[in-house]
Structure 1
């Protein structure tokens, strides 16, 4: 059976901003997919048009209003073909919400860990402060502890000045 939802962007644990872009292939009942972003306390909803007769490319965006008071930095983006059946197929992708990780978030840049690096030292070099929390939170999907990083590891450095 061919899946009716194949979401290629974002990937799990991508670092996203106030506009979450999504893309993939989908077919939706009456040509519509519902879009929900939630973290268990708050929710933003929308919809996007897709083909109803076979799998077609789909792309869209959902805006997270500045007034949304998400309490957590891990969000769940759900795209669902539930317009004609509340039990229709859906895909849920965990993403990390940059504006909750770093105030003024505008994007991120990669950083390759060198021998002798610590998260505090990287934060000092990147932000002028040894507060490594934004770096740790932006990489929570690959870092189990802020005390354990490895040379050659690529980290995402959240930026407010891009």
Structure 2
């Protein structure tokens, strides 16, 4: 459902996120409350943010994914909803933002480098450069599934996110 009642400004679609997800946007909800959910379809974590009750207002919130929640998919969804009054008479406003859960892709994730693909590079050669292990190409692929359809086809000039561990 396309909604102007809730607009998520952060995180953006397919951003890499850690266990602490900072959410910001503008919205209006029943009694000023916007429900927030993070889910992969198997596990769900809930939170909320305070926004406007009668007009659009800025909101921000933090959702922490507990260590005992082990998502089964790299792709998770942030769902923002005005469902606090119930949805019996009219459909609830819901906004879905697809995200990539980096700790599932690479344990101890701490950020990422931007890498611009050069002529002749492959995911394996890039993995060898950053990780000293060409078999780590799968982590690069999984962190960039929104821009790479086939791991055997990358293009010079393409920007890739290379997960980092500190």
Structure 1 position 99, deviation (Å): 0.2
Task: Using the TM superposition, name which of 45-54 and 149-158 deviates more.
Answer: 45-54
Aligned to 2:47: 46
Structure 1 position 60, deviation (Å): 1.2
Structure 1 position 9, deviation (Å): 1.2
Looking at structure 1, the residues matched to 122 and 4 of structure 2 have their Cα atoms a distance apart, in angstroms, of: 43
Structure 1 position 40, deviation (Å): 1.1
Mapped pair 1:129 → 2:133: yes
Aligned to 1:105: 109
| Alignment deviations for residues 73-104 of structure 1 (CA, whole Å, 9 cap, x no partner) | 10011010110133321101110000001000
Question: Secondary structure of 1:33's partner?
Answer: strand
Please, which of 75, 95, 105 is the counterpart of residue 91 of structure 1?
95
Question: Secondary structure of 1:93's partner?
Answer: strand
Mapped pair 1:142 → 2:143: no
Q: TM-score, with normalisation over the residues of structure 1?
A: 0.95
**Runs (4+) of structure 1 moved beyond 3 Å?**
none
Aligned residues: 160
Looking at structure 1, the residues matched to 111 and 31 of structure 2 have their Cα atoms a distance apart, in angstroms, of: 35
Unaligned segments of structure 2, at least 5 residues = none
Please, which of 124, 147, 158 is the counterpart of residue 120 of structure 1?
124
Equivalent positions of 1:62-101 (< 5 A) are 62-86=63-87, 87-101=91-105
Structure 1 position 53, deviation (Å): 2.1
Give the alignment's Cα RMSD to 1 decimal: 1.1
Unaligned segments of structure 1, at least 5 residues = none
Structure 1 position 63, deviation (Å): 0.4
Q: TM-score, with normalisation over the residues of structure 2?
A: 0.93
